[in-house]
Amino acid sequence: MKEIITFLRELQANNNREWFAAHKDEYNKATATFHSFAQRMIDMIATFDSAAAHLSVKDCTYRIYRDVRFSADKRPYKIHMGLFINPPYGKRINTCGYYIHIEPGHSMICAGTIGLESKVIKAIRQAIFDNIDEYRAIVESPEFKGCFSCLGDNFLKTASKGFPKDWEHIDYIRPRDFIAYQPVDDDFLCSDDIVEKLKKYCIQAKRFNDFINFTIEDFIEGTSSEPLPHIY
């Protein structure tokens, strides 16, 4: 993993096509290491989430090239590598999965999903409200909190419409992005036993993912006419 961190750190300082072309060998080596890591992560997750066994590395990884056509930021390359293991769909469907974000100084381990349609967000909020004891048993458990220190993102400033403003657990339904995440440092990612270290995080992530996906699946299988695209 060290060569991934090293390459990305250098790319941050030299995000242009000329530098990238001159360092294509380093990119290829970093990518090979990342793909090997991705396969080991898929295999590990498949030991307790069997649907992951059908996923390939290609199903779970992204191109490094940025789409700059409609962006004011014209830097041609992403400065991170992302792995989204999302059984059984892979990265093409926006259900909850296991996401590893590798970016020097800004890496993290994530559960959940982002970028959902408003009708799906509303349904998830209702599911949490209706099943608050089950949800709290997951996110307030010592095992879960020991892995993920941050819960939710892109919060509403006030209570969600349609729910009592004085509800004691209102913060659980304020996010627009239903994720749990834990920042990690570069040394952690460069551990020789990194896949084994990540196993406990992924086991806890599955508990969270299963709860949220129970609602999202309704929109994939029944009430939604289009798949939910992922945006990592």
The model's pLDDT over 9-32, given as tens digits with 9 standing for 90+, comes to: 999 999 999 999 999 999 999 999
Q: What is the pLDDT of residue 14?
A: 97
Instruction: Give dist(CA 188, CA 31) in Å, integer.
Output: 19
Does residue 230 surpass a pLDDT of 60? no
Band of residue 177 on the pLDDT scale cut at 50, 70, 90? very high
Q: What is the pLDDT of residue 219?
A: 84
The reported pTM is 0.90
pLDDT tens column, 69-97: 888 889 999 999 999 999 999 888 889 99
Instruction: Give dist(CA 214, CA 209) in Å, integer.
Output: 8
pLDDT tens column, 215-228: 999 887 644 333 33
Bridge partners of 98, per DSSP, are: 85, 111
For residue 136, give the nearest of 49, 207, 202, 215 by alpha carbon: 207
Q: In whole angstroms, what separates CA 39 from the centre of its chain?
A: 16
Burial of 13 (0-12, 13-18, 19+ CB in 10 A): exposed
Does residue 214 surpass a pLDDT of 70? yes
φ, ψ (nearest 5 deg) of residue 209: -60, -45
